[in-house]
Amino acid sequence: MKHPIRDLHVTLLHLLGLDDNKLTYFHGGRYKPLSQFAGQVIPELLAWRLGVIRGLWPMPQSREYQNAKRKLKRHIDSIAASDEDVARAVAEVGYPEPRIRAKGFETFLSIIISQQVSTEAATSIRTRVFSTLGQVSPRAVLETSIENLRAAGMSGRKIEYAKGLAESIEGGVFDPDELLQLSDEEAIEKIVALRGFGRWSAEIYLMFSLQRPDIFAADDLALLIALQKLRGLPAKPAAGEARRLTGHWAPRRTAGSLFLWHYYRGAPD
């Protein structure tokens, strides 16, 4: 018996050039084959395809993505050559995929939407907010009522942050393009000056959107847990200790961070 939702699910994956038997989905505390979930993850797949169309991230078979994948592997291999724990872990779990996000307002707005909610909730809310805005721009956020943004799923605090971000860009106080010319620390300082953006959010933007090669988000809980497991530590390290333990990964700490996230999900118990 054919399953219409299942067939649509497979069709979407084929449009993306992907095989659902080779993809995984985080569920019940671990990653499972996406093929097990039939139509359950269709909203996320739709949002992913929308993101590809909007240019928020590249297609997996694109030249940009494949170049980033090769570069990431080179950087992780370089770290592993001088870090036996990483070398052992790479042999166990393999290499992560690159994470590439667009530069600019849409990504900053997505960061606000994603704060303190699950990945699934963030995907759903982002899709509704973008649909409500029509054209995702600072002007559209300023012209959209608080009531409509609430109806799309944003909290009052996040609406404040989004409108504050839009006002900063429209008023010339904050220019995302200027970040390209700044050092890592200068760019982080510019971002954290915005309401609703801490250092972690700034570091994520530098890693995924600006593709800065030497960022370690030491306040990220998953990275700290993965580092504890990687080093066989009795407890999760503090941020300062984590920076010390990964200092020799410079100038490729972004690749090290991506590997730790990958190891966090795939490391043996």
Q: What is the pLDDT of residues 200-209, one digit of tens each?
A: 999 999 999 9
What residues form DSSP beta bridges with 26?
A: 31
CA 269 – CA 266 distance, rounded (Å): 9
CA atoms within 13 A on the CB side of 97: 13
178-216 pLDDT per residue, tens: 999 999 999 999 999 999 999 999 999 999 999 999 999
- Quote the mean pLDDT of the chain: 83
For position 267, what pLDDT does the model report? 53
Spell out the domains of the chain, with CATH numbers in brackets. 4-54 (no CATH), 63-94+215-266 (1.10.1670.40), 105-208 (1.10.340.30)
213-243 pLDDT per residue, tens: 999 999 988 899 999 999 999 999 999 999 9
- In the predicted structure, residue 260 carries a pLDDT above the cut 80: yes
Backbone φ and ψ for 267, nearest 5 degrees, come out as: -65, 145
pTM: 0.76
C-alpha closest to that of 179 among 246, 74, 107, 77:
107
